[in-house]
């Protein structure tokens, strides 16, 4: 009789333990535990974050943070937090969430257009990845890195080709830089390298000229013709006389800070700068802005013609009139100058 009571007690305790365990399994592993109405929510785990930091992000997204804590501890996630961007889908269980934030680091799309400086590039990229703008700027300006890869301060911006790329959110500044170098080398394939050699320009010179072409015209259809004008000038030793380089030189001077030059004047042609292509023959030391890929390819595949001049077309905004002689160019230029004056654009 006494033994039967013991057996019954053991059985009851076993049932209680089993029920407790089953309840734990259900609550911790099988019961949906999301508290948001959207289909997905995202958390961003920084490289320096601890479990407490992750927990802080998760708490408003979950119905029962305590059950999540229990399972996270049992699965040892609390000691092995991994940085990245992670998705939590509506209706996920604690087990689903832990598996997701442990192994499903999402890639994000990072896009940048024609950034005018390394500072602007760093600021733009820092909005999308974990690395801040200061660390990115330091990385892309690093002299050792630049020298080892054939760049300098004037040409450094040319390594970054405006496009869309896939990155993990927790990408460091150095990882971003390394990826962009890889993309740059991929862009400069055997075909493009041969074309640059055939026209007698290095890749840095091609991009420097492409930046001028791009600043002259955003119309991809016209860029090869403009590139042809500059290649003709280079070939005969004529100064490039590119107005965008004057603006670039001017904006580096204190008196032009926070100004917009809408009309290039003779005073701008007197600026002492290696970027003044009215005073200095040949290409400037580096690019004046980040060109589109279309402008780079326009230089590599420039149009063969006899034009030496071009002026903005007052009747076709964004396009130009081309001339083979200075006399014809002066006619075209005066027409555009009259248009600027009629619009009250005097500087």
Block means of pLDDT (10 residues each) for the chain, 347 residues, are: 58 53 57 93 96 96 95 94 96 96 95 92 96 97 97 96 96 97 97 97 97 95 97 97 94 88 88 95 95 96 96 87 93 85 76
Rounded (10°) angle between helices 223-236 and 203-216 = 120
pTM of the model: 0.85
pLDDT of residue 344: 79
> Who contacts 1 (Cβ-Cβ below 8 Å, separation ≥6)?
none
d(CA 88, CA 1): 56
Strands (E), the chain: 40-45, 84-89, 107-112, 163-168, 309-312, 320-323
Question: Which bin fits 214, alpha (ψ -120 to 50), beta or left (φ > 0)?
Answer: alpha
Q: What is the per-residue pLDDT for 345?
A: 75
What pLDDT does residue 5 have?
60
Please give the pLDDT value at position 19. Answer: 47
**What is residue 74's predicted lDDT score, i.e. its pLDDT?**
95
* Distance from C-alpha of 90 to C-alpha of 37, rounded to nearest angstrom: 7
DSSP state for residue 342 in the 8-state scheme:
H
Q: How far apart are CA 332 and CA 316, in angstroms?
A: 13
Tokens of 321: 């009139």
How far apart are the C-alpha atoms of 170 and 83, rounded to whole Å? 6
Listed in sequence order, the residues at least 6 apart from 233 whose beta carbon sits closer than 8 Å to its beta carbon are 239, 240, 241, 308
CA angle 105, 109, 113 (to 5 degrees): 155
Q: How far apart are CA 73 and CA 144, in angstroms?
A: 45
Q: Which tokens in the block code for residue 328? A: 């014809």
């Amino acid at each position: 009789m006494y033994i039967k009571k013991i057996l019954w007690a053991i059985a009851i305790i076993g049932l209680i333990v089993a029920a407790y365990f089953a309840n734990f399994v259900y609550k911790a592993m099988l019961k949906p535990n999301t508290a948001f109405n959207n289909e997905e929510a995202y958390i961003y785990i920084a490289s320096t974050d601890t479990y407490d930091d992750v927990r802080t992000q998760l708490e408003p997204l979950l119905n029962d943070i305590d059950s999540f804590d229990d399972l996270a501890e049992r699965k040892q996630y609390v000691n092995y937090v991994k940085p990245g961007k992670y998705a939590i889908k509506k209706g996920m269980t604690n087990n689903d969430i832990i598996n997701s934030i442990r192994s499903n680091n999402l890639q994000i799309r990072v896009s940048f257009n024609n950034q005018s400086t390394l500072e602007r590039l760093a600021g733009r990229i820092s909005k999308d990845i974990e690395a801040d703008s200061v660390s990115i700027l330091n990385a892309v300006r690093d002299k050792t890195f630049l020298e080892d890869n054939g760049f300098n301060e004037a040409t450094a911006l040319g390594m970054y080709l405006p496009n869309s790329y896939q990155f993990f959110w927790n990408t460091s500044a150095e990882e971003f830089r390394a990826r962009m170098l890889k993309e740059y080398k991929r862009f400069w394939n055997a075909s493009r390298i041969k074309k640059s050699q055939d026209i007698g320009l290095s890749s840095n010179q091609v991009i420097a000229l492409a930046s001028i072409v791009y600043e002259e015209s955003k119309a991809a259809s016209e860029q090869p013709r403009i590139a042809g004008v500059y290649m003709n000038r280079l070939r005969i030793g004529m100064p490039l006389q590119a107005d965008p380089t004057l603006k670039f030189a001017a904006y580096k001077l204190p008196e032009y800070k926070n100004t917009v030059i809408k009309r290039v004047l003779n005073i701008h042609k007197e600026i002492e700068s290696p970027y003044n292509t009215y005073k200095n023959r040949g290409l400037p030391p580096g690019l004046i802005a980040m060109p589109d890929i279309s402008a780079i390819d326009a230089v590599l595949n420039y149009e063969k013609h006899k034009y030496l001049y071009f002026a903005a077309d007052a009747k076709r905004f964004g396009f130009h009139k081309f001339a083979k002689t200075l006399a014809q160019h002066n006619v075209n230029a005066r027409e555009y100058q009259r248009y600027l004056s009629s619009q009250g654009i005097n500087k």
